[in-house]
Structure 1
Amino acid sequence: MTNDRNERRLRFALIGGGPGSFIGGVHRIAAELDREIELVAGAFSSDADRSAQAGAAYRIDPARAYPDLATMLAAEAARPDGIDFVTIATPNHHHLPAARAALEAGIAVMSDKPATATLQEARDLADIVAGAAVPYALTYTYSGYPLVREARARIAAGEIGQVVKVIVEYSQGWLAGAVDSKQAAWRLDPGRAGAGGCIADIGVHAFHLAEFVTGLHVTQLLADLGSVVPGRTLDDDAQLLLRFDNGARGALLASQVMIGERNGLRLRIHGTRGGMDWRQETPNRLVIHHGDGRTEIVQAGDASLGSDAMAGLRTPGGHPEGYLEAFANLYRDFATLLRGGAAPLLPGISDGLRGMALIETAVHASREDSGWVHLIV
C-alpha cells in the first residue's frame, strides 16, 4: 500500500473510547462510513487490560491496542503504515495533554468538544495548534447536518434579511435523578469535566450551532446556571440571554433534567424578512417562514439545496440520514484537509476557544450574579 494519502485510506487511532464508552463507537462508525478512513490503533484506556479489550472489540491488530498514549505515538511513528491522525474521545481533562502530545509528534488531531477543560488550556492549545504542521479539528457534530449547512448558506445569502432574534435550546432528561453510569460520572466531576456541567456538555453545542448558522458572534451574555439535583457540584440546568455582534438578541436554554426530553436540540432564527426553524430530532426538514406569510418546508434531497448541503447527502430524498451521517461529514471534511484540500465548514481551534470562553464566562457570571458580561476569548 502506498504512503500517498491521496491514494489510500487514512489511518487513525482512538485515544479513549474504551469499554463502556458511547462516543468511541460513534467515532469509529462515522470515520469509516465513506471508506476513506479506517481505525487501526488506539490507546483506549489508561488501564492496559481494558485497552486490549477495546482493541479486540474494535477488531484491530492486538499489537496496536496500546497501554498508553506515549507508547502508541512512539510505536506508530516507527511503522511504515503508521497512523495519520488521532481522535481524542476522553473526558475533558485529558484533551489538552493528548492533543499536545499528538501535535508535537506531528500527528493531526480530531477532538471531542469542548476543546479542553479550561479557557486557559484552550489558549495554550491554540498556541500549540498555531505552531503545528498538521490540522486540528473539533467534532461539533451538528454543524455536519446538511440542512444546518443549508440554513447557514441561505442566511449568508440574505434570504431572511438581517438576523434580529436567535433562540437555541438543547433539552435532555437523562440526568434528572441519580444516575450510576460511566457516562454520567465524569460529566458530574469537576476534576474531569472542568468548571461546567450541562453548559459544557451540551450548552456549547447549542452555542456553536447558533454562531455557525447565523455567522454571528455572541458579544455579551446574562447567565443563570444551577444544580437542580441535590448534591451536584456542577450545573445540570442553564439559561442564558445573548447579545450578538450585529445587534441581534437571543436566548440559549440547555438542560439535562427535563424528564421526557431525549436530545431536543432546536434552533430558531428570525430576520427582518423571514425566519428558520431546525430540530435535530427531525433533521431532514428545515422550516422557512417568509415575510409574505408563506411557510416553506425544505427537505434533504430537494433539488433546491445548495452545494454545501448536497455535498453532505448520501441517499436520495425520503431516505432518512441523521447523527452518524452528520458526524461522518466532519470526518470527510477532515480527510479533505489531510489530503491538502480546503474544509471551511469544519470546526477548529477558534471554535474551541469560543466554546471555552462561553463555559467559563457563564459559570463565573452566574455564580457572581454579575448581570450582563462581555464574552472575551
Structure 2
Amino acid sequence: MHVAEALPEKRGRNSVKILILSCNTGGGHNAVSAALCRELEARGHTCTVADALSFGPKHFSEAISHLHTIAYRYFPKIYGMGYRKKEERVLGEDETSFEYKMNAICVPHLYRYLLEGGFDAIVTPHVFPAEMLTRLRRKYGHTKPFYFIATDYTCSPCVDEIMPDYWIIPDKRLIPEFTAKGIPEDRLLPLGIPTNPAMTTHVEMMTARRQLHLPPTGKMVLIMSGSIGCGPMTQLALKLLRHLSRDTFVVVICGKNKGDLKDLQRIAKYRDRLYPVGYTDHMDLYYSAANVAVGKPGGLSCTELALKGVPAVLMLSVPGCESRNLEFFTRYGMALGTENVRDTITEVRHLLENNALRLHMNASQRSIPRRAGEMVMDLIETGVPPETIM
C-alpha cells in the first residue's frame, strides 16, 4: 500500500504547518477548507488557507471567480453543456487539459510560496490547485505530501490527471467510477467530505427554532440557494405558501443573492409565514429547525443535509457536477429530485405528509461517512490511511 511521507512531528508534540489551497469558485470548497483549518488548529497545528488562483497574474483569481459565478447564475444551460463536454473529453497519453494549462500560470509563484512557507503537507478540496500541485511535482520534483478532497459525488473532469498522494472521495460506492478513469484503487480513500463539526451534532428542533427566533410550532420548509445564490427562490417560496397548509412556514436562505433577499424581505412585510435570511453562519441550526429542506444539489450541502438527517428535495437548477450529486442521492434514497418549481412543490407536500418516506430517507442518509474531518486529519498527521491506523 502507498504511504505518503509522514509529517515530522505527530499530534501531542510541536505543531506542524499545513497549507490548504482553495478557490473562490463556489462556497463549498471554502467551507470545507475552513472546517478543516479549524479542526487542525484545535489539534495544535499551524494551518494556512490560501486562494490558489491568487498566485496567478493580477486580477486572475477575481476574473476566474467572476466568470464562474456569471456562467453558473445566469447561463446555467451553457454551464451544463460545457461540463458535459469536459466529461466526454478523452485526452491523449501525453496530452493535458485546457484547465491544466491555465492553472500552470500560477505554478511559479506558488512554488516560491511553498519554499518560503516551509509547509509539511498540502490539502486541496478543488481540482484547480490539485493541477497546480501536480505540475509542481512534474516540473520541480516537489515531494511534500499532498491530498485531494473530492467535494462532489462523482469523478469530476480533470480529477484523473492530477497526482496527489491520495484522492479522498465522498463515499465508497463511488470507487468504481474513479477506478474506471484509471485512478489506482489503493490511492482512493472513501472518508467522506469534511464539514463543520456542528453538522454531526444533534440539536432539538424546538431548541434550534428558539435560538433562531422562529415559530416554535408548525412545520418548517427550509429553502436554500447555496453560497452563490441560484434558482427561482422567490417564485418557489410564494407558491409553497399558497399550496401548503396554514400551519407551515417557509424560511429562505438567500446566500449572497442580495436581489432575492431584498425582494423577499419586501414581500415578508405583508405576507406572513415567510422568513428570508441572507448569508448565515448558522446553517446547522436551520437544518435542525426544519421538517423538510429544498436545496440545490451541491456536494457539501447534500452532505450536510444527510448528516443532519433532514428530509430533502433537491432541485436541479444548474446542470453539471450537481447533476451527478442529484443522481447519487436519489439513487440511494437520500433525497427526492426535481428540475422545476411545480414538481418541487409536489414532492415537498409528499414528504411533509408521508412519515414512512421521511423515516426511510433518514435511514438511507445514515450511510454517509460521519467522521470525515477526523479521518482526514489523521491522514494528514501520519501519512498513513486511516484503516491502517485503527
TM > 0.5 between the two? Answer: no
* Greater per-residue helix proportion: 2
Q: Structure 2 length as normaliser, TM-score?
A: 0.37
